[in-house]
Structure 1
Amino acid sequence: MTEGTAETGAEPPLAEKPRLKEYDGEGITVTFEPRRCLHAAECVHGLPEVFDLSRRPWVLPDGATPERVAEVIRRCPSGALQYRPAPGGAAEAPDVPTTVRRSPSGRLVVRGDLLVAGGAGVRRETRVELCGCGASGNQPYCDHSGPCAQPDEDADDVAEERR
């Protein structure tokens, strides 16, 4: 076994930071990783005063309280949206226990304290949608390249359960 495996007990090194767009607010910074976005629209439906695709910049973190912005970001199933609170604010806590669910179209929806290994190395995550068909060009994340990216009929039901 190699360094960073169960044999050594050490965590593998974390990957380089992905390309992110950052939107700074007074109480929270919102980050967006476009390659991860699967257009679930939890953000624009949940908080249109903050997330509005018709304006630039499309994210205005100060359009609502930092707590409300964080709440809506946690609904983002792909993890494309994340946040950093201002000093002293509460960071996102991973779901306990970790859950794995296969969507009807085949994506793996995973929430918890995660280390995800991909082409750029290992990343710590709390929310991901992983490719279930092998066609993604952003492995292991789903990127709408293959059949597992089809819309799920139960997406609204799952979003309602998270609220």
Structure 2
Amino acid sequence: MADRTTDRTSERTSDEKPRLKEYEGEGITVTFEPRRCLHAAECVHGLPEVFDVSRRPWVLPDAAEPDRVAEVVRCCPSGALQYHHRAEDAVSEPPDSPTTVRRTHAGQLVIRGDLVVTGAYGDRHETRVMLCGCGASGNQPYCDHSGPCAEPDDEDVPEQR
């Protein structure tokens, strides 16, 4: 089966739900919500044959084994990338247990687990999110790096001697 890309909604306006792109493969479907992407690049570094921003479509789920694609998608800290196995008996991404919450130096809350996040479009079931800690995000409650969290995270900067 050829990879198919579907744009579930039209371009975003203030009254519409966020745009979600779907990349369908034989054994796994990857979804991408561009507005939540914080460009951590875990996907492109983890599996460049599947995730390549220089081509269209930029996600080719069949370019690697479904379990490997799922493993790399789970590395996406913002939850912009998610997956669903296509087999009849397979479940979607299992949440981490126990739920974990970590605050970055810049103030974002990185949360992984069985989550319900309430935002402008109601409740959403999530397994991974990066929530705004400064209140400046235009995509509340999700971080969009529009406030102080756009500053480099000192935890990620190598120490200089």
Q: Which TM class, normalised by the smaller chain length?
A: 0.7 to 0.9
Contact 2:18-2:35 within 8 A present in 1 as well: no
State the Cα deviation string for residues 54-80 of structure 1 (Å, max 9, x = none): 111100000100000000000000000
| TM-score of the two chains, using structure 1 as the length reference | 0.82
State the Cα deviation string for residues 91-118 of structure 1 (Å, max 9, x = none): 2111111111000111100000000011
Aligned residue for 1:134? 135
**Counterpart residue type for residue 27 of structure 2:** G
- Aligned-residue Cα RMSD (Å) equals 1.8
Aligned residue for 2:81? 81
Aligned residue for 1:107? 108
Contact 1:42-1:75 within 8 A present in 2 as well: yes
Does residue 121 (structure 1) correspond to residue 122 (structure 2)? The answer is: yes
Q: Does the residue aligned with 2:117 lie in a helix, a strand or coil?
A: strand
Contact 1:142-1:149 within 8 A present in 2 as well: no
Aligned residue for 1:97? 98
Aligned residue for 1:53? 53
Structure 1, gaps ≥5 residues long: 1-15, 158-163
% identical equivalent positions:
75
| TM-score of the two chains, using structure 2 as the length reference | 0.83
* Bigger RCO of structures 1 and 2 (CA < 8 A, at least 6 apart): 1
Q: Does the residue aligned with 1:69 lie in a helix, a strand or coil?
A: helix
Contact 1:107-1:149 within 8 A present in 2 as well: no
Distance 1:25 1:107 in 2: 33
Aligned residue for 2:42? 42
Deviating 4+ runs (over 6 angstroms): none
Structure 2, gaps ≥5 residues long: 1-15
